[in-house]
Chains A and B, each alone.
Chain A
Amino acid sequence: MVRSKKLKFSRNIFPKLGRTWQLFFAVVIALVLTLNFSRVATAAAKHYTDLQFNSLPGIKLPKYERFQLNNGLVVYLMEDHELPLVSGTTLIKTGSRWEAGDKVGLGDIVGSLMRIGGTNKHSPDELNEILEQRAASVETDINESTGTASFESLTEDLETVFGLFAEVLREPAFAPEKLELIKTQIKGSIARRNDDSDNIASREFRKLIYGQNSPYARTIEYATLDKIQREDVINFYRKYFHPNNIILGIVGDFNPKKMRSLIQTKLGDWQPNLNIAKTQLPPVQQANLSGLFFVNQPQLTQSSILMGHLGGKFNSPDYAALDVMNGVLNGFGGRLFNEVRSRQGLAYSVYGLWNPRFDYPGVFIAGGQTRSDATVQFIKSIQLEIERIQKQPVTAKELRYAKESTLNSFVFNFQDPGQTLSRLMRYEYYGYPADFLFRYQKAVTKTTAADVQRVAQKYLKPENLVTLVVGNQSAIQPPLTQLASKITPIDITIPGSQDTGSKIN
């Protein structure tokens, strides 16, 4: 009854448009029925190829301050109030590469003893207790090209912890009994350095590339340890630990005025040394220009393999292209993973990396582990991949994969302010431009397949490849002689110990 009324109504009101109105109503009713919020309508699961993405907001660099105290100490301050934590690091212009050749280990010892030897005001135990009671830390370390001293603290303990941190930096006591403790520990690690085949491989590989006496490869021995006395430690410390030789960076939940004041109080009256010894970077050249080297470990069922040669520095104009080359060779979509691991099933871990350093040449290093009887096949596969990337330009697909992996993940360099702070400090320490990372990003964007091939041809040197195998000679079938007529055995017996590290055939 209502219906007929309606029709009548429409016919009466819009007699001329009657048919159109009916159509209109029909459509409206149909729409109302379908728009009843069923999932089918707009939201369906999409295959990834059908997805589109908004662009990310531009990178926002965290704010920071950089200033210098009168004594030359460079300071970076970066606030971050997300959590009630403060941490800081110093970079000290020193390094174990400047220790004397007959005292290998001195740098390491200075780095350790500075911390565990206590200070002039606090004994080792006191220092440990005050810090650990507050879940805080102060740590020191010296590696081949830098010295670091760092601290971590809850905001509420900042003054105390920073005070201790400054003490450790300025007046370490180098307690003699702790020197003995450190030496015991180092002796222990010397005794254990042949217990793991990967450790053997990486250590011996560095010696083959840089030379066994190079500051970048030499190993601590019982003999060099014995020569290191407390005086040596103190002298080394005195040579390098001066405010005008240090960059300090602090990030976290601090009040900038108070922090500046605390820094001034604790470090402002530290006298600079205007006669800091000028340091020379040790010369570097590849010690072995080729060759197949072998360490026999008859207990192994798997070989650890390292192949490579001398590399370059980060500030090479070709670094970005070389890094794109790395992207083609490595990663889940990389050639080595695809070919050597997945397609041939030869390895769990396999890589081939251009691995630069900041102020001295790094290495190109390839390798992995594979069962003994696949050793030769593994090595040949890597050689093939090196040749391939030189001979053929990478495909557009591969180039895209390598470049986009870097560029699309760039934001992860800025997850927290601390990352930016470390970079700034590192770049200043090594004399790199502050925007080095962005220059790298631009250069990656511009890299072409021709660039990748060019740098592969220029910098990869298959004829200067040094190959090191740590494995079980009798189980390596086909034998290594298939790869080279001359195989040089390496004796890893620890000098001055009673154990034999390897059997030589």
Chain B
Amino acid sequence: MTHWIFTCMRRFLVITLAFFLFCGNFPIQTAIALQGNQSSIKPYLDRVVKQLTEFTLDNGLKFIVLERHQAPVVSFLTYANVGGIDEPDGQTGVAHFLEHLAFKGTKRIGTTNYKAEKPLLDKLEQLDNQIRAAKSENRTEELEKLQKEFKTVEAQAGKLVKQNEMGQIVEQAGGVGLNANTSSEATRYFYSFPANKLELWMSLESERFLEPVFREFYKERDVILEERRMRVENSPVGLMVEKFTDVAFKVHPYRRPVIGYDEDIRNLSPANVREFFNKYYVPSNLTIAVVGDVNPNQVKRLAKIYFGRYPAKPKAQAKINPEPKQTSTREITVELPSQPWYLEGYHRPSITDPDNAVYDIISSLLSNGRTSRLYKSLIETQRVALVAEGISGFPGDKYPNLMLFYALTAPGHTVDKLAIALGQEITKLQTQLVSEKELERVKTQARAGLLRSLDSNMGMAQQLLEYEVKTGSWRNLFKQLDDITKVTPADIQRVAQSTFTAENRTIGKLLSQKS
């Protein structure tokens, strides 16, 4: 049962935090392995490197192909290097909205007659713009007329739709795990097929971003508003995390929710989505992983045929204002119908920083397992917490981000007591060198974690792309093991001292609302 509590609470929180890392079409969690290296796993990593091919099409679209012939299945992941942080002001949620609309089909998929459909979709957009104008100018009679016409045209357009046809094609062909997620800095589309359907994936996925049609826009907006209600407005923790992130970041767009603010979502238009798509879904901004029972030559040949159709376009770069250094403690307290939660965030550098491995190790030392510092002290000995962990890389890690600690109070204890206990553990890292034995344990766990992930096609696709896009090379997935091996107790102390300061701290308290 304790295990159940861990699993349940952790899943609960992980889902919420994962939500702030990713919004998906269905709830989904991703685990990113932390690593370390040693001789006994080297042959297995070398084998992966040997089985890996990469190529870039003329238009800039890069493919990473990893062969794994254990079973006749293949996993695919299309990674668009764009997310919440790239959204223009007032259009938060557009990256996630686009992710939803990418399931709506193309000129040929998802409709019975695009020729008839197109003018209706254009008309809908036109009416929508007129409705907005009428609303803002309070022309109520005209507004009513327009809304009535809108419903009629929407119904007409709806008749020409073959609902969710793309998803249905994938599933009927034996595809599994069809889904997508959006984070602050990436949008990922993925599914797996039996190995004989490679060309089907090529055809569907290339057509999907070649000539998408963002049909059923207005209904999907309702769906997204439901998603936001579910994840934020009706979730005390969801609400807490949204407010916390807003306080921890003053300038950098990490402060904004990936799902978007309610008002922004309601104001989004098809034109916004199209513009965002045209700007960011260019071949040089897309990277694709194909992992499983494939012949890389065949993958390359087909990739050229299908994805070679994309015209090369310049790679856009949103202007991301850097977060200024935090100079004093920030705090936010929220009262909601919930038992208490406690959050503490500390700014840390991005994934490409030379100290990245040190941060990963710190979060493992504090959080991983029953021998971790927080478990032993807060949960087992002092019993002030039910769960207490640290996450490194919140809400993203492409830019300087947060190491986020979260904890649930045990019955009869306050968040303030928790804060003190957490502070003690953090201080220990600053004042006492970590033992070699403990450090070795964490490094072993890291390398075992990477090893264990090698037998998952989709897991490998995710990890390889994460490193390829964010650090410039998939090889860093393995290189970071070396980095982790090199971390010394002195490094940990140094980083702990510079990071866990009062000036760098943001506190979040979710307290029970007095009913």
Contact = CB atoms under 8 A, between A and B. Distances in A.
A204 B402 CA distance: 38
Nearest to A500: B515
B223 A302 contact: no
A345 B158 CA distance: 12
Interface in A123-148: 128-129, 132-135, 139-141
Interface string B422-440: 0000000000000001001
Interface stretch (A166-174, A405-413, A452-460): A405-413
B370 A116 contact: yes
A188 B223 CA distance: 34
A226 interface: no
A299 B336 contact: yes
Interface string A133-165: 111000111000000000000101000000000
A47 interface: yes
Nearest to B70: A82
Contact of B40 (A84, A331, A416): A84
Contacts of A189: 4-5, 8-9, 386
B472 interface: no
Contacts of B386: 184-185, 188-189
Interface string A450-473: 000000000000000000000000
Interface string B361-385: 0000000111100000001100100
A114 to B, nearest CB: 10
B216 A342 contact: yes
Contacts of B221: 345
Interface stretch (B174-182, B245-253, B279-287, B319-327): B174-182
Contacts of B164: 332-333, 337-338, 342
Interface residues of B, number: 100
Contact of A332 (B167, B223, B233): B167
A182 interface: yes
Contact of A132 (B199, B223, B369, B451): B369
Interface string B442-458: 00110111011011010
A57 B219 contact: no
Contacts of B196: 53-56
Interface in A15-52: 39, 43-48, 51
A154 B71 CA distance: 23
Interface in B1-51: 1-5, 8-9, 12, 26-27, 40-41, 44
A134 B440 CA distance: 9
A92 to B, nearest CB: 15
B393 interface: no
Name which of B3, B27, B194, B449 has the most chain A CB atoms within 10 A of its CB: B3
B164 to A, nearest CB: 5
A56 B233 CA distance: 47
B73 A411 contact: yes
Contacts of B27: 349
Given A53-B200, A116-B370, A409 B219 contact: no
A370 B226 contact: yes
A189 B457 CA distance: 36
A85 B452 contact: yes
A49 B73 CA distance: 21
Nearest to B383: A184
A82 to B, nearest CB: 6
Contact of B5 (A57, A185, A370, A408): A185
A47 B203 contact: yes
A499 interface: yes
Contacts of B195: 56
Given A133-B371, A415-B457, 10 more contacts: A47-B108, A48-B207, A181-B383, A185-B2, A185-B386, A188-B339, A189-B8, A196-B12, A349-B27, A409-B194
The 10 A-B pairs with the shortest beta carbon distances in the complex, nearest first, are A332-B167, A408-B174, A333-B168, A108-B1, A345-B222, A135-B448, A345-B219, A338-B163, A112-B2, A348-B227
7 contacts: A84-B41, A197-B234, A333-B165, A342-B223, A369-B230, A401-B168, A412-B176
